[in-house]
């Protein structure tokens, strides 16, 4: 027996990937960036569905990837709903410059759930959440997207189809996840990254960033005393100190916290 015959090559795989997310979030552009290495500036809405095939090699195994790129517009629901079945991987895209597209993510998961109609099948789908258009002015912080994805056991990537940032890494994780799931007999591997931070930390970071004044930043009403300011400062400092907190945005929030305390103490 020849040497090569002894090494049993793993069979090639065929996988099915879909795209989900509101219209104009950049689903088609992310796919185009990955498959054709280019970006189209003009918006050409997907009509119903676009189908494409690409090949990747992972762990010495050739994988044929069938990509079903869905139209995000509600008008096309009747067309795209046919294509959810047998999905193994999904990119779920929102646009960081459009908050409503982030808020729509739950509705997309509802659509996926109701079309597939079988919880264990849905749970076996590897999902990559793409926070796209990071080259634009944002309305959604990275930490919010990360938290949403972590809470559901999904991968999270910040991407820009325009610059290409994050796109290859995202597809790599998606394909690796799908192949592992196949090797696991259809059971999705839990994602290795542990949260490592709490919702309380995220909420505090959000408040520090979005508050209209220094009192609000410290969670105090106007006319709070020196004591109140220091108490509130200490509580938040323990929560957000960059040496202790791994929550995204801690460092920036901590600086805002220190500046707010300094300004308020001058006033008290
Ligand atoms: P539907 O097919 O209608 O569901 O939309 P889609 O999600 O496929 O969006 P598409 O990829 O067609 O992109 C929509 C618009 O956003 C286009 O004008 C793109 O040029 C633009 N776009 C996509 N990705 C990016 C990005 O990363 N940065 C910027 N600045 N623009 C982007
Ligand atoms: Mg499209």
CA of 110 from ligand 2 middle (Å) equals 20
The ligand 1 atom at the shortest distance from the C-alpha of residue 22 is 4
Query: Contact 250/242 with Cβ under 8 angstroms?
Result: yes
In the prediction, which pLDDT does 1 show? 47
Taking the model in full, what pTM does it have?
0.76
Burial 118-151 (b: 16+ CB within 10 A, else e): eeeebebbbbbbbbbbbeeebebbebbbbbbbbe
Query: Contact 225/268 with Cβ under 8 angstroms?
Result: yes
Residues whose beta carbons lie less than 5 angstroms from ion ligand 2: 27-28, 46
Cα 144 off chain centre by? 9
As to burial, measured by CB atoms within 10 angstroms (0-12 exposed, 13-18 middle, 19+ buried), residue 57 is: exposed
As to burial, measured by CB atoms within 10 angstroms (0-12 exposed, 13-18 middle, 19+ buried), residue 19 is: buried
H-helix or E-strand containing 94?
strand 89-95
The number of helix segments (H) and strand segments (E) in the chain equals 12, 6
Show the CA angle centred on residue 72, arms to residues 68 and 75, nearest 5°: 110
Q: In this structure, how many other beta carbons lie within 10 angstroms of the beta carbon of residue 67? A: 20
Distance, in Å, from the CA atom of 175 to the CA atom of 171, rounded to the nearest integer, reads: 6
Contacts made by residues 47-53, CB under 8 angstroms, sequence distance 24+: 47/71, 47/76, 48/76, 48/79, 48/80, 49/76, 49/79, 49/80, 49/83
Show the CA angle centred on residue 141, arms to residues 151 and 246, nearest 5°: 60
| Alpha-carbon separation of residue 159 from 58, 136, 206 (angstroms) | 22, 11, 21
In the prediction, which pLDDT does 189 show? 73
In the prediction, which pLDDT does 40 show? 93
Per residue in 114-156, pLDDT tens? 999 999 999 999 999 999 999 999 999 998 999 899 888 899 9
Ligand 1, from 20, 23, 24, 71: best to mutate by most atoms within 8 Å of Cβ?
A: 24
CA of 181 from ligand 1 middle (Å) equals 30
In the prediction, which pLDDT does 110 show? 97
* Nearest ligand to residue 30 Cα: 1
**For the chain, which residues score pLDDT lower than 50?**
1-2, 5
How are beta strands 13-20 and 89-95 bridged, if at all? parallel
CA of 189 from ligand 1 middle (Å) equals 30
Distance, in Å, from the CA atom of 29 to the CA atom of 42, rounded to the nearest integer, reads: 10
């Amino acid at each position: 027996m020849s040497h090569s015959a002894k090494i049993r090559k793993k069979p090639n795989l065929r996988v099915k990937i879909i795209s989900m997310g509101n219209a104009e979030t950049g689903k088609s552009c992310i796919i185009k960036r990955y498959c054709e290495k280019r970006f189209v500036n003009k918006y050409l809405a997907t009509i119903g569905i676009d189908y494409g095939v690409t090949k990747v090699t992972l762990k010495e195994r050739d994988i044929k990837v069938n990509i079903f790129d869905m139209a995000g517009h509600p008008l096309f629901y009747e067309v795209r709903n046919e294509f959810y079945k047998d999905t193994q991987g999904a990119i779920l895209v929102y646009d960081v410059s459009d908050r409503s597209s982030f808020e729509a993510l739950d509705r997309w998961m509802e659509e996926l759930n109701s079309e597939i109609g079988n919880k264990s099948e849905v749970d076996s789908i590897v999902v990559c959440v793409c926070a796209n258009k990071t080259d634009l002015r944002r309305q959604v912080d990275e930490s919010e997207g990360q938290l949403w994805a972590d809470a559901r056991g999904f991968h999270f990537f910040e991407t820009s189809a325009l610059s290409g940032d994050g796109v290859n890494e995202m597809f790599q994780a998606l394909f690796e996840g799908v192949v592992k799931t196949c090797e696991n007999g259809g059971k999705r591997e839990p994602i290795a990254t542990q949260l490592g931070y709490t919702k309380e930390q995220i909420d505090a970071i959000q408040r520090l960033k979005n508050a209209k004044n220094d009192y609000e930043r410290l969670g105090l009403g106007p006319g709070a005393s020196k004591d109140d300011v220091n108490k509130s400062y200490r509580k938040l400092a323990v929560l957000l100190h960059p040496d202790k907190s791994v929550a995204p945005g801690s460092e920036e929030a901590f600086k805002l916290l220190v500046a707010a305390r300094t300004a308020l103490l001058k006033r008290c």
